[in-house]
Amino acid sequence: MIRAIVSRIKQGHRTMPYPAAPLQMPERFRGYPVAASLADSADRSPECPYGAFSAAEGGCLDMGKCLFCAECPAGNIEFTTDHRLAATKREHLLVTPGAPRQFAQALSNDLLRILGRSLKFREVSAGGCNACEADTNVLSTIGWDLGRFGIQFVASPRHADGLWVTGPVTNNMTKALLTTYDAIPEPKIVVACGACAINGGPYIDSPQVCNGADGLIPVDLYIPGCPPHPGTILDGLLRIIDKIR
């Protein structure tokens, strides 16, 4: 026991200070995109195979569909290292030149009163590749310690306050998703984590998928990325429970 205590003292405090201090993202991280203009891109390159951008009306990049592959047909799209990508409305994931940026907003006062200090999720992997699940699991490690904010994942939907959806929602998983959603008591929220859960990701428009969750159930938080960085996930969660503004 004494050796364990001494070892812990030597190790020190390992949980990162975020959100009290900013996250230091690697230089190669692809975060919030900056599009100077997409108007001239249509004549130079084929369209994005996932429909993430359109050159019409000055250009629009849809972060909900974007896989952040950095092979955009429009050569003047740049990805910053800003990890704050989550949004509470689907239209706020659309990036257009000169448009104001929209961050995720806090839940209503009634929901904050109930869920603001203790928020439990039941996760449904609806046909994904497990990348979004892996980066979500990272938040439970000592470095991130999601539980210090009162946010946890639980085994039963009966014990949950919200539904966490990953994957494009395949036809085989549709019933399981809806059954889990119905089993969570009201009031409840839904988080779509990753490009697949938002709009189908690389499987968009496949006859075997439903192109994400919000065509089936209401979504309260969209977290884009393929997969989203743990910092992106945490930022979105802290914003909806009003820990970050």
Residue 65 lies inside a defined structural domain of this protein: no
Residue 154 lies inside a defined structural domain of this protein: yes
The per-residue pLDDT for range 13-31, each reduced to its tens digit, is: 778 889 999 999 999 999 9
What value does the mean pLDDT take over residues 148-175?
97
- For the domain that residue 134 is a member of, what is the CATH number? 3.40.50.12280
Tokens of 19: 């959100």
pTM to 2 decimal places? 0.91
Q: Which band of pLDDT confidence, cut at 50, 70 and 90, is reported for residue 106?
A: very high
| Position 121 pLDDT exceeds 80 | yes
| Position 57 pLDDT exceeds 90 | no
Backbone φ and ψ of 34, nearest 5°: -115, 120
One-letter amino acid identity for 193? C
Task: Say how far residue 29 (Cα) sits from the centre of its chain.
Answer: 15
What does pLDDT average to over the chain?
A: 90
87 - beta bridge partners?
222
Residue 157 lies inside a defined structural domain of this protein: yes
CA atoms within 13 A on the CB side of 68: 25
Residue 35 lies inside a defined structural domain of this protein: no
**Is the bond leading into 46 cis (omega within 30 degrees of zero)?**
no
Residue 101 lies inside a defined structural domain of this protein: no
Residue 44 lies inside a defined structural domain of this protein: no
Which residues form the domain of 231? 109-240
Helix (H, G, I), strand (E, B) or coil at 128: coil
Q: Which residue has the higher pLDDT, 21 or 35?
A: 21
| Position 56 pLDDT exceeds 80 | no
Residue 193 lies inside a defined structural domain of this protein: yes
Query: Alpha-carbon distance 192 to 224, whole Å?
Result: 8
How many structural domains compose the chain?
1
Length of the chain: 245
Residue 61 lies inside a defined structural domain of this protein: no
